[in-house]
Amino acid sequence: MYVLAALLLIGAAFTSAQDNRLQLCQKAKALGITFYTPQEMVTIAKCVEKPYFNGVAGDALFTEAKNCVIDNSGSKAVQALSLYNNANSCLSPQKIEDLPPILFPPFKQLTLALQNKIADTVADCKRTNTQAAAQKQETCMQKVYGVAKAAITKDYIENVCTKFVNKSVTKKQWGCALRYGPQVMNMALYKCSKIVKA
């Protein structure tokens, strides 16, 4: 479940003749996401792009992304809300909203090289692109999605997941991820899903 959130946030927060946004979402589907179709992920990504492009970061970006998921889940909204509530119950007394300050710093360290490359790409594009606001954002985000699309592979996810789960996720958090993650993605594709936390 954390890997899904991370993949979506990295992809959404960071990728048109060539639609890198759609291609990244298609790749996410191939990498195991089962809850959303690529087109549904595109809609969510487009929602997250504006706050990201306008400099929203950290917990505020997480809140924006969560709202984008809820607001753009269409016919899956009830199922998504149920999954959200079930995950919160599983994590109790923690809630999903409690996790970013705890889990984002170690996750950020594990993905720092990619995040820096993405940040440099968007900053360079913002600085050099002279198009009008909406087209500038679209052009820059397409470049960013291209960077993410090239970097996020099965091996990349496996490596990040293994280190992240072993070093940063509690037994309870991991138990909840293993319980509810398969409703969102095919976790069996990854060896890290076999990690047992003591």
Name the strand (E) or helix (H) holding 96. none
Q: How far apart are CA 108 and CA 129, in angstroms?
A: 28
For residue 178, what are the contacts with CB-CB under 8 A and spacing of at least 6? 187, 193
Long-range pairs for 10-13 at CB < 8 Å and ≥24 separation?
10/111, 10/114, 10/115, 10/118, 10/148, 10/152, 11/41, 11/45, 11/145, 11/148, 11/152, 12/44, 12/45, 12/48, 12/49, 12/52, 12/65, 12/68, 13/48, 13/49, 13/52, 13/61, 13/65, 13/118
Grade residue 175 by pLDDT with cuts at 50, 70 and 90.
very high
Structural domain boundaries in the chain: 2-194
Find where tokens 């505020």 sit.
60
Q: What is the pTM of this model?
A: 0.85
Per-residue model confidence as pLDDT tens digits over 26-40? 999 999 999 999 999
Output the six-digit token pair for 187: 């976790």
Q: How far apart are CA 116 and CA 27, in angstroms?
A: 21
Per-residue model confidence as pLDDT tens digits over 68-99? 988 998 889 889 889 999 999 999 999 998 99
Minimum mean pLDDT range among 15-19, 62-66, 91-95, 145-149: 15-19
pLDDT of residue 1: 46
Q: How far apart are CA 190 and CA 27, in angstroms?
A: 15
